[in-house]
Structure 1
Amino acid sequence: MSVSAYKRVQRDHESPRSVERRIFSRITADLETWGQAYDRAEDGLERLTALKGSLQLALSENMRLWALLRRDLSAPENALPTELKASIISISLTVDRLTSEILRGHGQVADLVGINRPFIDGLAGISGAEG
């Protein structure tokens, strides 16, 4: 079996939680990689230059991911406890606000990474006390 065929079979048999973790991990890794120059920038022009290309794409993907979570959590058939849904929706709105600040040349990409990491750990079954 070719590597691509193996990966396709693996993806077809992943749990939704595993898929979410994989997507969160990829996007967060992109934010970390491409956000370093932005976070180190000393002035607005450097930050805006760092936003071009890959960082802007990673920010957009991160916002889309959180918007999808928000939509899923708002669905009546979502079985998560109401308080947990409300907390995650609130966090998603914070992600939107922070991303808007970053796109204007303010804030730190590391803040978004810091929000995503606990979700990756949670999807992997790692509690905050263990992490």
Structure 2
Amino acid sequence: MSIAAYKRTIIETEAPRQIERRILAQVTGQLEQHQEKFDASGDLSERLSLLAGDLRACLWDNEQVWLMLRSDLSEPENALPPQLRAGLLSIALWIERQTNLVMRGTGNIGPLVEVNRSIIRGLAGDAGTAELQEA
């Protein structure tokens, strides 16, 4: 099967919500691979060294996902309720600020992972995400 046929099959068989969940789970998994070592380090030079590796790319990928979500949420055609859209836009802006802290070596990856996991659960339809819908 060609790549184009594979992509077409995914688009035809996955709902947008499933695609968002899958992509968010992928970038979250990448962040989790670095979380323990980065967050446990209190040394700024060690953190910056870790960022010099592929952690920076993982953070970038996560931020790009959130930028795309933010863009989609900003569209007038977005069908989500306005209150939920506003809450998710607020989260997207927080992700950007937290990512900047991590990139400077002063923030932790854990909160990014926690927020992503909450959104993943929400996209999966888990009941534990009512707080997001009330935000």
Unaligned runs of 5+ in 1: none
For residues 21-75 of structure 1, give each alpha carbon's deviation from its aligned partner in whole angstroms, at most 9, with x where no partner exists.
1000000000000222211112100110111222111100111111111111111
What is the aligned partner in structure 1 of residue 76 from structure 2?
76
Instruction: Describe how 1:42-121 pairs up with structure 2 within 5 A.
Output: 42-121=42-121
Q: Provide the aligned length of Structure 1 versus Structure 2.
A: 128
* Amino acid in the other structure paired with 2:10: R
Supply the distance in 1 between the matched residues of 2:39 and 2:29 (Cα, whole angstroms).
15
The alignment's TM-score, normalised by the length of structure 2, stands at 0.86
* Amino acid in the other structure paired with 1:39: D
What is the aligned partner in structure 1 of residue 133 from structure 2?
none
Supply the distance in 1 between the matched residues of 2:4 and 2:77 (Cα, whole angstroms).
34
The alignment's TM-score, normalised by the length of structure 1, stands at 0.88
For residues 87-131 of structure 1, give each alpha carbon's deviation from its aligned partner in whole angstroms, at most 9, with x where no partner exists.
10000000000000011111110110011001101111112179x
Query: Does structure 2 conserve the Cα–Cα contact (< 8 Å) formed by 1:34 and 1:54?
Result: no
Supply the distance in 2 between the matched residues of 1:36 and 1:5 (Cα, whole angstroms).
37
Unaligned runs of 5+ in 2: 131-135
Give the 3-state SS of the residue equivalent to 2:35 in structure 1.
helix
% identity of equivalent residues: 42
Q: CA RMSD in A?
A: 2.1
Supply the distance in 1 between the matched residues of 2:129 and 2:59 (Cα, whole angstroms).
29
